[in-house]
Every structure is written in C-alpha cells, then in structure tokens.
C-alpha cells in the first residue's frame, strides 16, 4: 500500500517537473483519496467482506469414519534471548480451531488425523508444522494423529505437498483450517491439486472505521490486496500454461 502511494506521489512529482499540472494534481489527488479510503476503513472493509463473508459461519460437520484436518501454518516467532521458536500469534486461532475439530471428531469415535502444513519461510530454525505440532500435543492431541508437512514455503506449496499426504492416507473427508481472509486463495490452490476440503476459519478480521487514517486499516488493506493478487496470479498462470498440471485426485488409485 505504501509503495503504491509513493508511486502515485512520485508520478505526480515527475509530471510537475515537466509542468503537466493537471496530471500532477490528478496523481496526487488519487493518492490522497486512496490513503484516506484505506486508512479510515472503507476500502479494507469492502475488500475483506468478499474474502471473509463465505466463511463467517462455521459449518456443521458430519464426521466420516476416516477424516483429515489440514491446518495451514501462519509463521513462527523466535523468542529473543532463548532458543525457543513458537507459532506466530496469527497461528493461534488456527491451532485452537484445529484442536476443537479434532476433539469433536474423536469424541464421535471416528479416526482423525491433523495434517500440519508449513516449512520455515522466516528462517527461524523450526518449521511451522513442527512448532504447531508441539502446541497441539501439549493441548492433548495424540502425536500419532499428527501428519507433518514441513517443506512448503507458501500457500501454493502447502497444497502441492499436502496432496500426496492425503493421497497416501485416503481420508473420506477433509477439512481445511486457515484464516477467513486466506481460505479463498487456499481453496483455489487446493482445488487445482484435486482436493475439495470443507473450509473452516480459524480467525476473522474486523476493520476499525475511523475519522483519521490508522496503521491497522492500512495493514488490512495490504493483506486483502495480497490475497486478491494471489488468486489473480493463479488464473493468469493457468491462462499462460505456467502452472503445474493438476495431478489425480487424492482419493484416486
């Protein structure tokens, strides 16, 4: 968001130097309108509405005999002054939701595995999947019910590397846990790799409508634009034939 605002300012400055005053004030005006629309809340509210609304209500799940709960990582944090690496604060909602789903599944007498997906993109020395598994075990999840995918560095690789794990485990039902803002893009990628999970949000973000721009709303705008950009890039790559061809469905022989 800041890069875009800076680009509009510099374009206006460049046109001003060649005395194209109308273009100069047009770009500066666009930048000002964009800054207030994003910082005061209307723009991120609109963008987040279409990202989160389909997943606002958590679904009622009829568990099968054999189930897989896929939880996508959300980064790790290195505790300064210690060797500890733990899930980032943005992973907490996903971990709580994955645990709640696991308990509900097991209480019905069903078989259930949690597939934790996430490598170490922040280079903190511990994969997101491993850090998340430590928390879930401390909450009471049987370690034998955890399947770890610790190579992926982004959402595309989450889907790509989880697919063979599910193909090997052969669940009758798959649930995908991530942030409400992230589920649309994640489902798009998972569908490409032949998976059709039930989406369940681990968290939900809300905009602060204010008279003055604030950093929270600007950050939410950045986050929302990132999600839309990821989906648009996927479709553009498909159009150009640059995406890897989709494999057979995870349940297929």
Q: How far, CA to CA in Å, does 144 sit from each of 69, 129, 133, 200, 211? A: 14, 14, 11, 23, 52
Reference 111, options 71, 158, 144; nearest CA is: 144
Domain segments of the chain as ranges: 1-39, 66-206+232-240
Record the tokens describing residue 117, joined without a space.
């997906």
Exposed / middle / buried, residue 156 (Cβ in 10 Å: 0-12, 13-18, 19+): buried
Write the CATH number of the domain with boundaries 66-206+232-240: 3.40.50.620
What is the value of pTM for the model shown?
A: 0.90
Residues β-bridged to residue 114? 69, 146
Render each residue's pLDDT in the chain as its tens digit; 253 residues.
778 777 868 877 787 777 777 787 787 788 888 899 999 999 999 999 999 999 999 999 999 999 999 999 999 999 998 989 999 999 999 999 999 999 999 999 999 999 999 999 999 999 999 999 999 999 999 999 999 999 999 999 999 999 999 999 999 999 999 999 999 999 999 999 999 999 999 999 999 999 999 999 999 999 999 999 999 999 999 999 998 877 765 544 3
Structure tokens at 131: 């850090």
Per DSSP, the three-state class of 60 is coil
Q: Are the CB atoms for 129 and 148 separated by under 8 Å? A: yes
> What angle, rounded to 10 degrees, do the helices at 42-52 and 215-240 form?
50
SS3 119: coil
Indicate if the alpha-carbon torsion angle 135, 139, 140, 145 is positive or negative: negative
């Amino acid at each position: 968001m800041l890069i875009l605002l800076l680009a509009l300012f510099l374009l206006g400055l460049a046109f001003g130097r060649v005395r194209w005053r109308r273009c100069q004030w047009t770009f500066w005006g666009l930048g000002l309108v964009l800054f207030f629309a994003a910082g005061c809340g209307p723009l991120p509210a609109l963008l987040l509405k279409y990202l989160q609304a389909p997943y606002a209500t958590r679904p009622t799940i009829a568990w099968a005999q054999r189930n897989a709960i896929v939880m996508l990582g959300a980064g790790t944090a290195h505790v300064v002054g210690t060797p500890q690496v733990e899930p980032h604060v943005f992973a907490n909602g996903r971990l709580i939701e994955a645990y709640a789903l696991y308990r509900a599944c097991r209480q019905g007498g069903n078989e259930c595995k949690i597939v934790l997906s996430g490598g170490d993109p922040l280079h903190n020395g511990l994969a997101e999947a491993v850090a998340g598994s430590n928390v879930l075990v401390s909450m009471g999840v049987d370690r034998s019910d955890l399947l770890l995918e610790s190579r992926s560095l982004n959402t595309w690789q989450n889907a790509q590397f989880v697919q063979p794990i599910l193909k090997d485990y052969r669940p009758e039902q798959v649930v995908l846990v991530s942030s409400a803002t992230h589920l649309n893009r994640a489902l798009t990628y998972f569908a490409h790799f032949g998976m059709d999970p039930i989406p369940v949000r681990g968290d939900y973000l809300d905009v602060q409508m204010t008279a003055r721009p604030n950093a929270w709303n600007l950050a939410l705008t950045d986050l929302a634009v990132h999600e839309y950009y990821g989906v648009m890039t996927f479709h553009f790559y498909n159009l150009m034939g640059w995406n890897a061809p989709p494999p057979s469905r995870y349940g297929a022989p």
